Amino acid sequence: MPFQFQAQTNFYKGKVRDVYTIAGKLLAMIASDRISAFDVILPKPIPYKGQVLNQLAAYMLQSTRDICNNWLIAVPTPNSSVGYQCEPFKVEVVVRGNLCGHAWRTYQSGQRVLCGAVMPGNLKENDLFPSPIITPSTKASEGHDEDISVTEIIRQHLATENEWQQIESYALQLFKRGNEMAAKQGLILADTKYEFGKKDGAIMLMDEIHTPDSSRYFYADGFDERQQRGERQRQLSKEFVREWLIENNFMGKEGQIVPEMPEDWVQTISKRYIELFEKVTGKGFQPETLSDEETFSRIQSCLQKLKTENPT
């Protein structure tokens, strides 16, 4: 059952997060251990996944606030965050430094334009683009997100031209910072997605950034040699979950059945998430499990403190 906080005005259960709106101004966001792929929630939770996502997102948001202000105010528990409610742009801003994932599948089909971004010829999977490209998608309330061009974003009034220019600038700066941070840890940030919104007329960064649910990392050591030999790249991301599902004949299409997840596979996913946290941050992961009562109490105390400090 969802919590009921004081002054709560809304509740939304997302694929992996439970989001509580407080007084129409704040959000209390709890990162669950649910895992999704191909826009489907998989049947078993992944131990500590919520804590990994929440703490990694907080680390990245705090490390990029000089580039773009963001929604985060406080982290009352390992798997929860409290921040400002923003009016979201209904667009996901996907930045790609390498030809992989959806971009590679598009490229492999013979197309050289993705969301209006031109991809050079004669590239191999995982090759670096000459410079990062932005390939937006619409945020679907149900089903799969859809690719969209900047021209269509403006035409459909999802953002004004000036707003989109600012969003693009923020996204490219954030991606550059993300790659600088990754490089210090021996990683390459290959692609990622950002979500933006507006608060009091200003554009703000929302949600998580540079986490395994929103990003793909490659190991830098040996990257060039593996590319030259045509070998698969070593990566840290959620892609290995998608690959396992594909191998088991599931891609989220109608009529397909989610395969059973053996317990050893669930533990493998958990270990991979923890590995990514430690590799990206350079810090040891400290697993912490709280009861629902303690989680509720800490979040409620945080909200009360914010109300006392900002009564209006």
pLDDT in tens, 213-270: 899 999 999 999 999 999 999 988 888 898 899 999 999 888 999 999 999 999 999 9
User: 8-84+264-309 maps to which CATH number?
Assistant: 3.30.200.20
DSSP letter, residue 70: B
Number of other CB atoms surrounding residue 278 within 10 Å: 15
The CATH architecture that domain 87-237 belongs to is 2-Layer Sandwich (3.30)
Its pTM stands at 0.90
Number of other residues whose CB lies within 10 A of the CB of residue 156: 12
Neighbouring-strand partners of residue 118: 113
pLDDT in tens, 3-55: 999 999 999 999 999 999 999 999 999 999 999 998 899 999 999 999 999 99
Domain ranges of the chain: 8-84+264-309, 87-237
| Closest among 150, 147, 136 to 109, alpha carbons compared | 147
Partners of 84 in the β-ladder: 26
Does residue 307 register a pLDDT over 90? no
Length, in residues, of the chain: 312
